[in-house]
A and B are shown apart, each in its own frame.
Chain A
């Protein structure tokens, strides 16, 4: 093999493209290295639910037969996709027992775009069941462990997508983000994670949690890699009526444009907020300083309506989820449990097929939508959502980018959440982007006790380019590696973060 798993793990996409073009290694070499890295890491991490070595090999060999350089941006490069993205012929479980045997007959829109760009899909990533969770602990197939420290959670729901990139199984993975499910695990695993503008990436073929909040995006170790993958998956898809017809402007070329003259907003009261981990606050300050030094103008503004986000989000999310998950009834596909009659079979199928968090949200959503409660819950939450959209429109007329934490604290120990509500409250900083549809990017900017700490940037609709420009400046000033250092995953790493 002309590339070792360790060498492969540290390659970014540009270096991978260059090596392929120069003939330093083949796509088949890359795949072999990727699978070896996965093989070694998986017993402890549990990031991958299904591997597809045969399918991947066929694509890699096809890429190797193409003339070099191959103009397709991901030609012959291994990637992983979250297991709620439909992959034709490859099992897709959404992290649930109820789809344990489900093999989709079609590819998701984002998966089609990856394939068209030449990507080699090596496997499907573990996730909280139906993307419900922010720790990775709600998967029916066991929790994913944080490669930086296996006692810690990865964050979720895109737990496996984050972990596999962090341990170097692939350079890029797709996740989905309904309330922070890309940004939060990215932050916990030292990665760059984008929740694009709602409507920018097709949801066709994404097993839905909450249709009005779900969005697909990339997780990578570098800002540039993230922009590259985002450019591949973004764009209009007529099969998704919520997909935006707004012309897409590629971001990759703009990543190095810097932040000189940009107005970067932040809320000074955040630093004194109850429950905010001090290092998380310091990391945010550090990122703001970097931006200022690079020529950005810092602007103090209040983060609007932050205390209403959790309530509004969990009502809307549960309501939409309660309807989206009714189709899992065992009639046409998936696991069916026997019953004495139809209703009995429905009850057993869903009773044994869904985990506790899924049942909890189906019950909450069904209750909130039921006759007599609609106005108090769904309608009220929708009104909060409108207020939030208005408030952020105003805010983003006054600043170009707004910086805030991703989570109140870094990754916690596995199995230590006291109540579901405690987990819900951890989503407080990520929810506004989903409720408003605005793009938001998490990227690493610090560390504490061997765990990475990220910050989050939000910008106006379709201004992902601004997010990348700011993140690239911080990345350069604070070189926090997204890759778990060698000697890991199982030794606690000494994270290098220097200003």
Chain B
């Protein structure tokens, strides 16, 4: 078998974490709603419905373009990509063609050569998702909840050299996007979808071979398997004197092989033209610079800084193995100094919950923001360590909001400073002997006083954080 050089390009679609859809105010939460619960005239493509651009989607796209080192086009526009299918409510997808949001970016990965490799990113653009078709009992039903959900497409140049490099790239891309809060990239929920273009050519060839495109792989392993399969298939065809047909292929995971979906002759002519319902978008220069200045440190630096923040190698290893690193970064971004605390909670509480529930972190309802807030509640003394575990478990299973849920679950410790002070003073006054002993240097008396105070508070029906009582007691004893 001849040794060929492999060339791979990857197109990734990710769903953005906006509250509303790309072009209408309906909720962007396809997984959380019953069928057709986000269904306004725009979602349904009714006559007379018009799109308006979601500014937050634009901002997230901008963040992604900046994080991927792209040149941002300050004046961009949308195009209509025309084709007819039951999941495409208007008969065209609003997308970007001539003037995408970002161009000419890059990301580094560990290359096959063992050295760091720069992967060129051709473009980053915004578009809308399609509705979902549900096939059951010989019928096909349409659920428009996902129709118009914000979608970002990221396309590399054909610069990857193997299935392994493609996998490295997609893993890195995913980590960066989650780290920057652009998407949650949960692959099994379709929040991240990958397509790869594969071609091979003899060593030293100046032109790329004819490529095949592999659609919608369900995971990183599938993508890598499909690419490696295609590389072998191409080589066998060429070695036996055949020619590769330019076509789109699917991946049959059960049989570990690709199959023809669509040949080049059937390829669509999408008849792109500028979307007349949306004027060009001008990104104000100060907005772009503001978003640039608000970006957290680059992802690679963040990895390095975890070590500086005292996260142990074992914990770092545990984090990266559990896809939790990006989650952590998103949680810690507003207050980087809380990283060690968050790591501790992740590695103890959350990993414990993962083991108990069997639900992977990326599939859980717990989001980074709520995780951070829950941990802050405990740090601030508003819930106990045991309360935090209960709260996290609830959020992990069902989602929700940290503050209100802590209250609903009765986890909030009462912040009743006056009662605490009174109880402390009463306890000291009732035991003048203990105070004398303490002043004589018998510090263990302090804990006896604390116990008495807690007992009195409990008798009075108060749930108070012992740490808070201890602090008040210590101040009283010092005075």
User: Of all chain A residues, which has the CB nearest B24?
Assistant: A239
Contact B91 A323 (CB under 8 A): yes
Query: Which B residues are CB-close (under 8 A) to A333?
Result: 44, 46
The prevalent SS among residues of B at the interface is loop
Residues in A whose Cβ lies below 8 Å from that of B46: 86, 104-106, 333
Please report B residues at the A interface, Cβ cutoff 8 Å.
41, 44-53, 80, 82, 84, 86, 89-92, 142, 269, 271-273, 276-279
Q: Which of chain B's residues has its CB closest to A86's CB?
A: B48
A346 to chain B: closest residue by CB: B84
A238 at the B interface (CB under 8 A):
yes
List the B residue with the shortest CB-CB distance to A203: B50
25 A-B residue pairs with CB within 8 Å: A86-B46, A104-B41, A205-B48, A205-B49, A208-B48, A238-B52, A241-B51, A241-B52, A241-B279, A242-B277, A323-B80, A323-B91, A323-B271, A323-B273, A326-B84, A326-B91, A326-B92, A327-B45, A327-B90, A329-B86, A333-B44, A346-B84, A374-B271, A374-B272, A374-B273
| Nearest 6 Cβ contacts at the A-B interface | A326-B91, A369-B271, A212-B276, A211-B276, A207-B47, A205-B48
- Please tell me if A371 contacts chain B, counting CB pairs below 8 Å: yes
Interface contact B90-A331, CB-CB below 8 Å: no
Docked complex Cα distance between A486 and B50 (Å): 43
Q: What is the distance, in angstroms, from B91's C-beta to the closest C-beta of chain A?
A: 2
Check if B273 sits within 8 Å of A332, measured CB to CB.
no
Which residue in chain B gives the minimum CB-CB distance to A342? B86
Query: How would residues 321 to 353 of chain A score, 1 for a CB under 8 Å from any chain B CB and 0 otherwise?
Result: 011011111011100000000100010000000
CA distance A326 to B279 in the complex (A): 21
**Contacting residues, chain B, for A108 (C-beta < 8 A):** 48
Chain A residues with CB under 8 Å of chain B are: 84-86, 92, 94, 99, 102, 104-106, 108, 203-208, 210-212, 238-242, 319-320, 322-323, 325-329, 331-333, 342, 346, 366, 369-371, 374, 378
Given contacts A106-B41, A346-B84, are A378 and B273 in contact (CB under 8 A)? yes
Q: Closest residue of chain B to A99, judged by CB? A: B47
Are A241 and B50 in contact (CB-based, < 8 A)? yes
CB-based contact B47/A86 at 8 Å: yes
A211 contacts B277, CB within 8 Å?
A: yes
Known A106-B48, A369-B82, A378-B273; further 13 A-B contacts with Cβ < 8 A:
A84-B47, A86-B47, A102-B47, A104-B41, A106-B41, A203-B50, A241-B51, A319-B273, A320-B276, A326-B90, A327-B91, A332-B89, A374-B272
- A394 shortest CB reach to chain B, Å: 23
Residues of A within 8 A of B53 (CB): 241
Q: Is the CB of B84 within 8 A of A329?
A: yes
Question: Which of B47, B90, B276, B278 has most A Cβ within 10 Å?
Answer: B47
Query: Who on chain B is nearest to A366 by CB?
Result: B271
Q: In the bound complex, what is the Cα–Cα distance between A86 and B48 (angstroms)? A: 7
Given contacts A241-B277, A346-B84, A329 and B48 within 8 Å (CB-CB): no
A331 touching B278, Cβ below 8 Å: no
A241→B80 CA distance, assembly (Å): 16
Bound CA span A332–B144, Å: 10
A268 to B202: give the CA distance in the assembly, Å.
Answer: 72
Q: A108-B48, A241-B51 are in contact. Are A210 and B276 (CB under 8 A)?
A: yes
For the complex, what is the distance from the CA of A169 to the CA of B229, rounded to whole Å? Answer: 73
Closest beta carbon of chain A to B58's beta carbon, Å: 13
* Chain B residues within 8 Å of A323, by CB: 80, 82, 90-92, 271, 273
CB distance from A319 to the nearest CB of B (A): 6
**Please, how many angstroms separate the alpha-carbon atoms of A327 and B51 in the complex?**
14
Q: Which residue of B lies closest to A374 (CB)?
A: B273
Instruction: Give A34 to B92 CA distance when docked, in angstroms.
Output: 42
A240 to B278, CA, bound (A): 8
Q: Which residues of B contact A366 (CB under 8 A)?
A: 271
